[in-house]
Homo-oligomer: A and B are copies of this chain.
């Protein structure tokens, strides 16, 4: 029965989101969000359900719609008692957004800026945006209230981009292909926060990892970590698996395909499906559920995963609950911060305060059973005397 399945999924996610749970316990005692309406446009998944529970425990009335109707888990939507959920898988997302707007939220949580684009000049307490692309949209808006850039919190990036995507990208590739990574030449294109995560995990799986990167500082980072670094055209002849993670377009094109060995595997871990040039790759036929084989003029065949879409979502399960735990803990504390500082924050985009970041890290460590020291008064004085 879907509702029961949804409840089980929320329960499992809850068990794997200890940071949010400890925030919920405090919220239930302190009720910092009493009387507020929080409108959220997020992916309607079990993890989001746990966030909704947390906000509700703090006293908020939560109204939720789908940032992307294809990612809605209907059983979760049906089972979520702590929020009003608008829309089901496949519904028109604009309808859900209208419903949330109609509920007149005090604070909005956004994933792609669909709510903020409409409500930007409404008399809200504040908002929070989860994604880089959403922030680009928000930056162009004339905001009447403060918006916290949750995606730039350090605990968010560390887990989401680096550890989360690092693991789930390889996981997606394994699920699609069942390749043995040990001993294989893996080319990682892009050595930003995410590419570094992918490269380290691939090495940890026994692969020989080659990095391509246009920024000299990042390229030097890669080399200093012992990776081979070279231009993509040279790496094209060396790799067996290619993973693009640059945020840019046309990273692998006809010039590269022409030099790759027969049977090479191409995967994209960037947000959009523009990193591997599909037009240059030419038509292919599906050989496994998420693998298409693309014959090249000279008879070689290249294997494309998930049609060049972001492989950890398309071929895997996306982020582990433990990753969303950190993102949503930042969201929950952002809502509390906006409430506590009502009227004191200027309109516009604000970073998540470092105190919140540090608190999320502290709660995460506690959930792992890790305690750490504090500075003594003497030490604090000593540092204060000469540190900037």
Contact = CB atoms under 8 A, between A and B. Distances in A.
A107 to B, nearest CB: 24
A322 B179 contact: yes
A11 B11 CA distance: 42
Interface string A315-334: 00100111100000000000
Interface string A278-315: 00000000011001000000000000000000000000
B212 A136 contact: no
A352 to B, nearest CB: 12
A240 to B, nearest CB: 8
A372 B287 contact: no
A201 interface: yes
A167 B136 CA distance: 39
Contacts of A378: 249-250
Contacts of A375: 214, 248
Interface residues of A, number: 97
Among A8, A136, A183, A185: residue with most chain B CB under 10 A: A183
B178 A223 contact: no
A190 to B, nearest CB: 11
A115 interface: no
A120 interface: no
B183 A388 contact: no
A52 to B, nearest CB: 20
A228 B216 contact: no
A261 interface: yes
B370 A223 contact: yes
A215 interface: yes
B212 A372 contact: yes
Contact of A178 (B317, B357, B379): B317
A321 B179 CA distance: 7
A15 B214 contact: no
Interface in A194-221: 200-201, 203-209, 212-217, 219-221
Given A171-B171, A322-B180, A8 B288 contact: yes
A229 interface: yes
9 contacts: A16-B179, A139-B388, A155-B220, A159-B180, A178-B321, A207-B226, A209-B226, A214-B372, A247-B387
Interface of A: 8-9, 11-12, 15-16, 133, 135-136, 139, 154-155, 158-159, 163-164, 166-167, 171, 174-175, 178-185, 200-201, 203-209, 212-217, 219-221, 223-233, 240, 247-250, 261, 263, 274, 287-288, 291, 317, 320-323, 357-359, 361-362, 364-365, 368-376, 378-379, 382-383, 386-388
